Amino acid sequence: MTQTSSDPMLNTDQPARKPPILDVRGLTKYFPIGTFVSNRLVHAVEDVSFSVRRGQVVSLVGESGSGKTTIIRLIARLIPVTQGEILFNGIDVLKSEPRQASLDYRRKVQLIFQDPFASLNVVHNIEHHLARPLIIHKKAANRSDIHDLVCNLLETVGLNPAPEIARRYPHQLSGGQRQRVAIARALAVDPELILADEPISMLDVSIRMDILNLIDDLKAKNDISYVYITHDLASARYIGDKTMVMYAGHMVEGGPSEDITRNAMHPYTQLLLSAVPDPHAGLRTDSGVTVRGEVPSLINPPPGCPFAARCSKVMAICRQEIPGTSEIDSEHWVRCHLFV
């Protein structure tokens, strides 16, 4: 995956010795809806646990409405957590900084959004966008320092000539260039963890790989960890050391990306895999696992496994109890009654 190694599997082992930078335990988020007379809750994220090691990319995969974005908004502490722990470098930040995240936490955890057209302010030039985090986080003393740092950042993300780009306005840049600016903005404050929310889905196909490779290079060079959100299993596998599969707010399977795509256990993961167009596998008419249906409503959901209504291997217990975690091997786990 990185240029140093030809065998992608070696890379998943290497960061294993490093301690987790992020450890999420039992993360839960309910959104109340309706008026004060009804107490309906949207169960957006339900009991999600996973960890990210230093220098690792963890991909969160799921369809729209599966809770991926809510998870990273919770980790970034943009919205309050209903229940659960977020351990950052071993410290439970919800306890140590209960009311709101400290400036230091907000520096270390940065976000990249899906839409590079909406995430940049049209009335400010690129230099303004990159100077702001530098000023807020006191990274530079004076104007010329700031300008030098801005140019450095632009060069880091491959935008040349940097002084020229710095003067431009967002509308003068292409989608790919804007997304590079958004990445540079995240890098400005030396983050330890970057939360990337579908950073390539709005970009033209021919430049998507450029952006993914840039993220991958920065991971190696700056020792940054990532949570990468996508609905596309192929890109999750391409960039992620680990892949976690989300369904209706639940994390149903997780493990090394290679295991998830080659040896998927959960019926939902198998369904997702069968839906990915894959010319390399030859022209398939149907792989037989297609199940009609869509993600269930998350408002006061019924008990049991969220996938029970669509699962071809559903059993009686699936409609009663949420399955616990079963280990397939030391890294690969699944939450499904079939494997209890």
Strand segments, DSSP code E, in 96-231 are: 109-112, 193-197, 225-230
Q: Which part of the chain contacts another protein (CB under 8 A), choosing from 18-26, 47-55, 143-151, 271-279?
A: 271-279
Exactly one of 53, 68, 107, 237 binds another protein (CB under 8 A); which one? 237
314 binds another protein (CB under 8 A): no
Closer of 101 and 271 to another protein (Cβ):
271
* Binding flag, residue 284, another protein (CB under 8 A): yes
Contacts of 255 (CB under 8 A, 6+ apart): 242, 243, 328, 329, 331, 332, 333
Q: Residue 104 gets which letter from DSSP?
A: H
Structure tokens of 159?
């935008």
CB of 311 to another protein, least distance (A): 13
DSSP one-letter string for 261-281: HHS--SHHHHHHHHHS--GGG
Q: Which residues contact 280 (CB under 8 A, 6 or more apart)?
A: none
- Measured CA to CA, the distance from residue 98 to residue 100 in angstroms comes to 6
- Min CB(264)–another protein separation in Å: 11
How many residues are recorded in the chain?
340
Of 49-57, 98-106, 110-118, 205-213, the window that binds another protein (rule: CB under 8 A) is 205-213
Pick one of 204, 223, 321, 329: the residue that binds another protein (CB under 8 A). 204
96 Cβ neighbours under 8 A, 6+ residues apart: none
Q: Smallest distance, Å, CB 233 to another protein?
A: 6
Shortest distance, position 91 Cβ to another protein, whole Å: 35
Q: Is 232 in the site for another protein (CB under 8 A)?
A: yes
In this chain, which stretch among 50-58, 68-76, 116-124, 272-280 interacts with another protein, using CB under 8 A?
272-280
Binding flag, residue 22, another protein (CB under 8 A): no
240 lines the binding site for another protein (CB under 8 A): no
Please, what is the Cα angle at 277 between 272 and 282, to 5 degrees? Answer: 120
**CA nearest neighbour of 220 among 241, 195, 251:** 241
Q: Applying CB under 8 A, does 278 fall inside the site for another protein? A: yes
User: Interface with another protein by CB under 8 A: which residues?
Assistant: 1, 3, 8, 63-64, 174, 176-177, 204-210, 212-213, 231-235, 237-238, 258, 261, 271-281, 283-284, 286, 290, 292, 294-295
